[in-house]
Chains A and B, each alone.
Chain A
Amino acid sequence: MILELMRQEATKLAAQRYPYLLLAALLALQVLRVLTLAFTPPETALDVVSAPQLWAEGLGWALRLLVFVVLVQGAMAFSQEFALGTAKTVLVLPVRRRDWCLAKLAALVLLAWALLALLALLGAVLVALTIGWSDVVREGIVLRPLAEYWRALLLGLALTGLQLLPLCAFALLVGLFFSNAGAAVGVAVLLGMMLESAGGLLRAGHWLFLYHLHRPLELLTRLGKGIPFTWDEALHEGIAVSLAWFLVLGGAAWLRLERMDIGS
């Protein structure tokens, strides 16, 4: 049943226009960022533009818009069903609310991961076409050989994917409180921005899931300058915080849907 519901989510998404516009904007932003970086001359002889740096910075920029896309799509997942009245059509069928919630969450996570993978692939192609995939070199000295940083790139990408999990659950949960898709999206984006800002402002900010979102890519950018990708305490914390928030927010979304009156 969950797979069938996920398939239906894909059918509905593919039949709409706005996902394609968002995807085009996402890809355009990354292409612009990578090309700008690749063709801007370094300010000093010590500055280097290496393949992992270019790839990570391009992906980091696109990630900002990807967060927005996930918030929009997640907030609309349920609120649009309530607004259209299709929630009633689905829930009079033999569909468990828990399954519906899981299917929507899984579909959103898969969408976020697919977009991230697409951006990573596009970034890899752009790097290959501009400066080429090669060792990190400064003034003729190899700081980091190509063979050594591949593993770090894949790890950074996987960690970024992991950090997207609580964001998906958060957006889905917000959408469950609105029967107006526009209001749900607005509130989700606003709360997302507040959470991201709060991470830097509050002392306890590192317990917020958005605080850790960009760290893997920042580490990759540093790797591109020759600084090793360190598997440190902060990365461990980021993984724990993301998984904990994902479970809490996902569970809250499920409970909310399970207990709510539809169309009252």
Chain B
Amino acid sequence: MSTAQAILRVEGLGKRFGRFTALRDLSFAVAPGETLGLLGRNGAGKSTAIRILCNLLRPSAGQAWLRGEAILGTRGVAHRRLIGAVVEAPRFYPQLSGRRNLALVARLLGVEDGRVDAMLERVDLAARAHVPFGQFSMGMKQRLGLAAAFLHRPPLVILDEPTTGLDPVGQRQIRDLIRALTHDAGVSALLCSHLLDEVGELCDRALVIEQGALILEQPLAGGGIAAVEACFRKLAHARDGAARDGAAWDGAARNGAAQEAAHEPAAAEPPPPQERP
């Protein structure tokens, strides 16, 4: 995919919190209609990247372009109409009903009121729309979050761990809903998760982040998830080994493990992974 075609392009994104580097030189692109998975262990830097792209954190380095327009560090907010986002667990005002909360979002997005009811129907919340958000179950909260993210028909949605805290049935419902809302409507998505099966099921391509750096980029068609799984296995093994030997788990060790993982043959003959330097 050429970067000119990409709906979202990220170049050299970095974030430091004091002396701690949470994200370093992250570059990737999302093609129109593609669902890109952002994988990594807890604290790897996935959510930091998502928050920067959602205007919640200021980047220490790098830039992102949405349909060719720079979106980081700019005063304009018009580009945010092109993004729908759920950052971590969906948060709304607990004393207001689900419908009232969604109506507040709709007014800030300039969306007509009728769309609110349509989206509530779409995410199967119409019957419970008048219940205060504070009394919603976790699954209902996630569905309301998805309704808010897709309310204004954005060409790109950013979903940060959308099934966290849900039971298997709830996870299945949310995954089906995400697939219906993205694939069926041709919406591009950046899905952040630490669940391999979720990314394997919903995404076209996966990026693996470790210690704030991108270590693997893997197309997932034809069983590519096996290469990602191998990468995680090798990473865990190398990290355990480094801890056992008292060696430093630094960039070189991490990249070595990632490269080794990327070359490990997978049973399902996945497409060749794209190694990162």
Q: Can you name the residue of chain A whose Cβ is closest to the Cβ of B77?
A: A94
| A-B contact list, 5 entries, CB within 8 Å | A15-B95, A93-B109, A94-B80, A96-B77, A263-B87
Interface residues of B in 51-72 (CB under 8 A from A): 51, 54-58
CA distance A7 to B85 in the complex (A): 23
Interface residues on B, range: 20 to 34
Instruction: Say yes or no: is B181 at the interface (Cβ < 8 Å to chain A).
Output: no
Contact across chains for A92 and B94 when beta carbons are under 8 A apart = no
Binding site for B on A (CB under 8 A): 1, 4-5, 7-8, 11-12, 15-16, 84-86, 88-96, 259, 261-264
Q: How many A-B residue pairs have C-beta atoms within 8 angstroms? Tell me.
A: 80
Instruction: Report which B residues bind A (CB closer than 8 A).
Output: 17, 48, 51, 54-58, 75, 77-78, 80-81, 83, 85, 87-96, 100, 104-105, 107-109, 148
A91 and B55 contacting across the interface, CB-CB below 8 Å: yes
Is the CB–CB distance between A86 and B96 below 8 Å? no
- B92 smallest CB distance to A (angstroms): 6
7 residue pairs, one from A and one from B, having the closest CB atoms: A85-B91, A262-B56, A94-B80, A94-B77, A92-B85, A15-B95, A261-B57
Check if A91 sits within 8 Å of B108, measured CB to CB.
no
Q: How far is the CA of A156 from the CA of B1 in the complex (A)?
A: 69
Q: How far is the CB of B24 from chain A (nearest CB, A)?
A: 16
Q: How far is the CA of A263 from the CA of B80 in the complex (A)?
A: 19
7 further interface pairs, Cβ-Cβ under 8 Å (given A15-B93, A91-B54) = A1-B108, A88-B87, A88-B88, A91-B55, A262-B57, A263-B57, A264-B57
Given A95-B77, A264-B17, A16-B95 contact (CB < 8 Å): yes
Nearest to A5 among chain B residues (CB) is: B108
A12 to B87, CA, bound (A): 22
Instruction: Give the CA-CA distance A93 to B101 in the complex, in Å.
Output: 13
CB distance from A258 to the nearest CB of B (A): 10
Report chain A residues within 8 Å CB of B81: 94
**Interface contact A263-B51, CB-CB below 8 Å:** yes
Determine whether the beta carbon of A92 is less than 8 Å from that of B91.
Answer: no
Closest Cβ of chain B to A74, distance in Å, is 18
Q: Are A92 and B77 closer than 8 Å at their CB atoms? A: no
Q: A8 contacts B104, CB within 8 Å? A: yes
Chain A, residue nearest B132 (CB):
A15
Give Cα A73 to B55, complex, Å: 26
Q: Chain B residues near A84 (CB, 8 Å)?
A: 91, 93-94
Complex alpha-carbon distance, A15 and B101, angstroms: 12
Whether the Cβ atoms of B93 and A94 lie closer than 8 Å is no
